[in-house]
C-alpha cells in the first residue's frame, strides 16, 4: 500500500504567498507609517477628518490579516504545530478581518476614487470577507473542519484581493485611461470607471479561482 505523501515544510504555496505579502507590505505601508495624510496614496476627503485615521486603521488590520493568512495556508504548520495554527487563526479573525472589514464599511462610501461603482464593490467585498470569515470560525468551533477549510479558503482569497487590486488597477487604467501613463488630458469619468472595474475584478476573480480550486480538491478527494 502506497503511503500518503507528507507535506514538506518548505514545498508549499505559503512560501511564495509569504514572499508576495512581504513585498506588497514593503511597498504599501511606508507612506502611512509617518501618519502624514499628505503622503497617502489615496485622496483624502476634505470634509471627513476621521477618514485618514480610519484608513490607517484599515491598512494596519489588513496587514495583520495578510501575514496571519500566510500561516493559515501552510499545511506543514497546521499538521505539526496545531496550536500555532489555532492562535494565528484567532489573530487573523479578531486582529485582522473583523476590525479591518468593519472599517472598510465605514470608509468605503466616502472614498474619493472610483465613484459609486468602486464604493459598491468595496462594500460587497467587506461584507463577504466578514461573512466567510465568521462562517469559517464558527465551523471550526463546531469541529466541522472540512467546512472550516472551505470557508477560510474563500476568506483568504478575499483578503488577498487588496494585492490583486494593484495589478488590476494598472491593467484597467492602461486599457481604459492610458493617458494616465502618458500625455494628454485625463477624463475623470473614464478614470473612475477604470478604478471601479478594477475594484470588482480584484475580488470576484480571486473568489472564482478559490471556488474552482475547492471544486478540484473535492473531486480529488472523492476519487481517492
User: Can you give the pLDDT at residue 222?
Assistant: 53
User: Can you give the pLDDT at residue 1?
Assistant: 43
Q: In this structure, what C-alpha cell is assigned to residue 205?
A: 476573480
Helix (H) or strand (E) holding 53: helix 51-72
User: Can you give the pLDDT at residue 79?
Assistant: 86
The residue whose grid cell reads 473531486 is 219
User: Can you give the pLDDT at residue 150?
Assistant: 94
Task: Give the integer Cα–Cα distance in Å for 171 and 208.
Answer: 19
pLDDT in tens, the chain (224 residues): 445 455 555 456 778 888 999 999 999 999 999 899 888 888 888 787 888 999 999 999 999 999 999 998 888 888 888 898 899 999 999 999 999 999 999 888 887 777 888 999 999 999 999 999 999 999 999 999 999 999 999 999 999 999 999 999 999 999 988 888 777 777 888 888 899 999 999 999 999 999 999 988 877 665 54
User: Can you give the pLDDT at residue 107?
Assistant: 86
User: Can you give the pLDDT at residue 4?
Assistant: 47
User: Can you give the pLDDT at residue 17?
Assistant: 87
Q: List helix spans (H) across 108-160.
A: 115-141, 145-159
Q: In this structure, what C-alpha cell is assigned to residue 219?
A: 473531486
Q: In this structure, what C-alpha cell is assigned to residue 149?
A: 477549510
Task: Give the integer Cα–Cα distance in Å for 104 and 120.
Answer: 11
User: Can you give the pLDDT at residue 43?
Assistant: 81
Residues in the chain, total: 224
**Number of Cα atoms under 13 Å in the Cβ half of residue 118:** 23
CA distances from 87 to 58, 105, 114, 195 (A): 21, 26, 37, 36
Torsion of CA 165, 170, 173, 174, to 10 degrees: -150
User: Can you give the pLDDT at residue 6?
Assistant: 55
**Number of Cα atoms under 13 Å in the Cβ half of residue 73:** 25
User: Can you give the pLDDT at residue 41?
Assistant: 84
Q: In this structure, what C-alpha cell is assigned to residue 70?
A: 500566510
Amino acid at each position: 500500500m502506497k503511503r500518503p505523501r507528507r507535506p514538506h515544510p518548505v514545498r508549499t504555496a505559503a512560501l511564495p504567498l509569504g514572499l508576495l505579502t512581504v513585498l506588497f507590505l514593503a511597498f504599501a505601508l511606508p507612506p502611512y507609517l509617518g501618519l502624514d495624510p499628505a503622503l497617502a496614496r489615496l485622496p483624502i476627503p476634505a470634509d471627513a477628518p476621521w477618514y485618514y485615521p480610519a484608513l490607517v486603521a484599515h491598512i494596519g488590520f489588513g496587514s495583520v490579516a495578510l501575514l496571519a493568512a500566510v500561516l493559515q495556508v501552510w499545511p506543514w504548520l497546521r499538521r505539526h504545530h496545531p496550536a500555532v495554527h489555532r492562535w494565528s487563526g484567532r489573530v487573523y479573525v479578531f486582529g485582522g478581518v473583523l476590525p479591518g472589514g468593519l472599517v472598510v464599511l465605514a470608509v468605503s462610501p466616502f472614498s474619493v476614487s472610483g465613484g459609486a461603482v468602486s464604493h459598491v464593490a468595496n462594500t460587497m467585498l467587506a461584507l463577504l470577507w466578514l461573512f466567510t470569515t465568521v462562517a469559517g470560525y464558527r465551523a471550526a468551533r463546531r469541529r466541522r473542519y472540512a467546512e472550516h477549510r472551505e470557508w477560510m479558503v474563500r476568506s483568504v482569497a478575499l483578503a488577498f484581493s487588496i494585492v490583486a487590486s494593484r495589478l488590476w488597477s494598472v491593467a484597467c487604467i492602461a486599457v481604459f485611461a492610458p493617458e494616465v501613463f502618458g500625455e494628454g488630458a485625463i477624463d475623470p469619468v473614464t478614470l473612475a470607471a477604470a478604478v471601479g472595474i478594477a475594484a470588482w475584478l480584484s475580488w470576484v476573480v480571486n473568489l472564482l479561482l478559490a471556488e474552482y480550486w475547492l471544486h478540484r480538491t473535492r473531486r480529488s478527494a472523492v476519487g481517492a
